[in-house]
């Protein structure tokens, strides 16, 4: 089956499409995809993973067409960033 795997790092983004066995898990796809070599900052034991925006454990089974997402920690608090943008717009 074919699945996608994506990761948005601070300096580069990867979106890969790979063929995997029908019984593949999230962790197996991450390891097989080569994304860990492209993004050495990824620690699968620390970062959360999901499929189409829903959190999934590393041992979750996948379906054909699934997109695995590896989530990194936020750089800024979303509410604080919104406040800064609103304040900046109010000044202009």
CATH number attached to the domain at 2-91: 3.10.20.30
Taking the domains of the chain in order of start, what are their residue ranges?
2-91
Phi, psi of 60, rounded to the nearest 5 degrees: -70, 140
Phi, psi of 8, rounded to the nearest 5 degrees: -110, 100
Contacts of 37 (CB under 8 A, 6+ apart): none
pTM for this predicted structure: 0.77
Residue pLDDT, tens place only, 14-29: 999 999 999 999 999 9
Mode of pairing for the β-strands spanning 67-71 and 2-8: parallel
Q: Which one, of 19, 25, 21, 26, lies nearest residue 70 by Cα? A: 26
Residue pLDDT, tens place only, 58-79: 999 999 999 999 998 877 788 8
C-alpha 72/C-alpha 81 separation (Å) is 17
């Amino acid at each position: 089956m074919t699945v996608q795997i994506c990761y948005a790092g601070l300096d580069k983004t990867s979106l890969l499409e790979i063929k995997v066995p029908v019984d593949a898990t999230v962790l197996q796809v991450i390891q097989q995809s080569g994304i860990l070599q492209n993004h050495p900052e990824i620690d699968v034991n620390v970062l959360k993973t999901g499929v189409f925006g829903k959190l999934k454990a590393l041992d979750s089974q996948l379906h054909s067409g699934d997109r695995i997402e590896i989530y990194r920690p936020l750089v800024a608090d979303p509410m604080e960033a919104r406040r800064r943008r609103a304040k900046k717009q109010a000044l202009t």
